[in-house]
């Protein structure tokens, strides 16, 4: 299966509790493109009342891990594979025949399916709420600056950036009444990589709910959604957030308890520069407003929201926004909670967390 997502290096969120067990499908552990460290699900003991099913594997260019508790054991792997397949066909920029690839290549006959329209609508809302800092049309700039799969442009001066900015802006993309995509500029390209991974988690969660499960955890590439409790421990699901500054062995920075919530994390702390005078480390982030790279002091962000798609989009936006901007948006958004790791003016690591996020942190 080809990748749906092209990742920046992200602060991974991983399930952190359980004991030995036996997964239905074991994943080949590997470093996915942009993943901080290898992902491992620590298996739990069997529950006397519910059957535990674990599904681990590779999809969308990363790993996934799903833990489900049900009254009867069943093989959900075909349904899991089907979710990934339809998402790829709709939104994979790596699949030549996918809907989004055809749209980007100028095919005006493509009728956007319900999933595509749902992600586009959520992208518009987050784009508006973040004053343009979340923008799925920014890929042309990412590639030009050398952070994409293609070659970087040799000269990125103001004139070059301005010429590329003409093609950036979600307002330049329109959904027609018959569900086709109309672009103001043919060069504008849609790329939902910064939100579709979270959407994949939501679609898998919806599938599990239709199968009658009321206790599960779904994780795809570090993005997580939970329902109910962890029956073996009779407590909310415990999810670990990796330390973005850890070197070598994986280190958990924080552990949070989640029940009927979703969390997504983002970070690009492996792409950085060090100020030769102060020694301060800055990560490179593309500012979709100015079109230039931004020496951000934000190392990693984790966002909790009702859906993983929304959490994923805001986690991406907060990487580009200043801490003050993010704090103001969070203050006005009761459905969002966030945890941000950043560097202060002296280069020291600091943490910001909303009150609601702090209440979920384990001591």
**DSSP label at residue 158:** H
Same domain, 289 and 231: no
Q: Mean pLDDT over all residues of the chain?
A: 84
What predicted TM-score, i.e. pTM, was given to this entire model? 0.85
pLDDT digits (tens, 9 = 90+) for 176-209: 999 999 999 999 999 998 999 999 999 999 999 9
* Residue 316 pLDDT exceeds 70: yes
pLDDT digits (tens, 9 = 90+) for 162-179: 999 999 999 999 999 999
pLDDT digits (tens, 9 = 90+) for 76-112: 999 999 999 999 999 998 889 999 999 999 999 999 9
Band (119; pLDDT cuts 50, 70, 90) = very high
Confidence at residue 311, expressed as pLDDT on a 0 to 100 scale = 98
Q: If residue 87 lies in a helix (H) or strand (E), which one and from where to where?
A: helix 77-91
57-89 burial code (b ≥16 CB/10 A, e <16): bbbbbbbbbbbbbbeeeeebeeebeebbeebbb
Provide the residue range defining the domain that includes 72. Answer: 13-87+195-261
Of 246 and 316, more confident: 316
Can you tell me the mean pLDDT for 66-73?
92
Domain count across the chain: 3
Band (359; pLDDT cuts 50, 70, 90) = very high
326: domain CATH number is: 3.10.520.10
The sign of the CA dihedral 188, 136, 199, 11 is: positive
Same domain, 268 and 350: yes
Band (301; pLDDT cuts 50, 70, 90) = very high
Same domain, 244 and 105: no
Same domain, 147 and 204: no
Instruction: Give the domain-ending residue among 261, 278, 298.
Output: 261
| Weakest-pLDDT range from 8-17, 299-308, 337-346, 347-356 | 8-17
Can you tell me the mean pLDDT for 243-267?
87
Confidence at residue 26, expressed as pLDDT on a 0 to 100 scale = 30
Same domain, 109 and 134: yes
Tell me if 277 sits within 8 A of 222, measured CB to CB: no
Q: Longest C-alpha distance within the chain, in Å?
A: 67
Examine residue 21 and state whether it is found in any structural domain, yes or no.
yes
Same domain, 268 and 356: yes
């Amino acid at each position: 299966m080809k990748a749906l997502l092209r990742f920046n290096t992200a602060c991974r969120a991983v399930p952190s509790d359980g004991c030995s067990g036996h997964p239905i499908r074991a994943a080949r552990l590997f470093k996915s493109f942009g993943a901080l460290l290898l992902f491992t699900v620590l298996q739990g003991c069997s529950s006397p009342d519910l059957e535990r099913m674990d599904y681990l594997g590779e999809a969308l260019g990363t790993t996934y891990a799903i833990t489900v508790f049900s009254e009867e054991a069943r093989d959900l792997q075909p349904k899991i594979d089907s979710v990934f397949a339809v998402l790829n066909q709709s939104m994979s920029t790596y699949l030549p025949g996918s809907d989004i690839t055809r749209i980007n290549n100028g095919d005006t006959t493509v009728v956007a399916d319900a999933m595509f329209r749902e992600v586009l609508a959520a992208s518009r809302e987050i784009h508006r709420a973040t004053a343009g800092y979340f923008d799925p049309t920014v890929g042309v700039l990412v590639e030009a600056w050398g952070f994409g799969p293609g070659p970087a442009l040799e000269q990125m001066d103001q004139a070059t950036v301005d010429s590329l900015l003409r093609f950036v802006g979600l307002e330049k993309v329109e959904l027609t009444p018959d569900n086709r995509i109309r672009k103001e500029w043919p060069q504008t390209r849609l790329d939902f990589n910064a939100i579709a991974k979270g959407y994949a988690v939501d679609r898998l969660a919806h599938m599990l709910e239709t199968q009658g499960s009321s206790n599960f955890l779904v994780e795809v590439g570090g993005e997580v959604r939970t329902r109910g409790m962890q029956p073996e421990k009779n407590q909310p699901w415990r999810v670990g957030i990796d330390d973005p500054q850890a070197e070598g062995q994986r280190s958990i920075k924080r552990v949070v308890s989640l029940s009927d919530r979703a969390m997504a994390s983002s970070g690009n702390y492996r792409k950085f520069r060090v100020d030769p005078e102060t020694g301060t480390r800055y990560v490179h982030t593309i500012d979709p407003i100015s079109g230039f790279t931004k020496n951000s002091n934000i190392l990693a962000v984790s966002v909790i929201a009702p859906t993983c798609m929304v959490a994923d989009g805001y986690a991406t936006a907060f990487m580009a926004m200043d801490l003050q901007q993010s704090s103001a948006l969070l203050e006005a958004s009761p459905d969002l909670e966030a945890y941000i790791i950043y560097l202060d003016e002296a280069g020291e690591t600091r943490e910001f967390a909303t009150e609601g996020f702090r209440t979920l942190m384990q001591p």
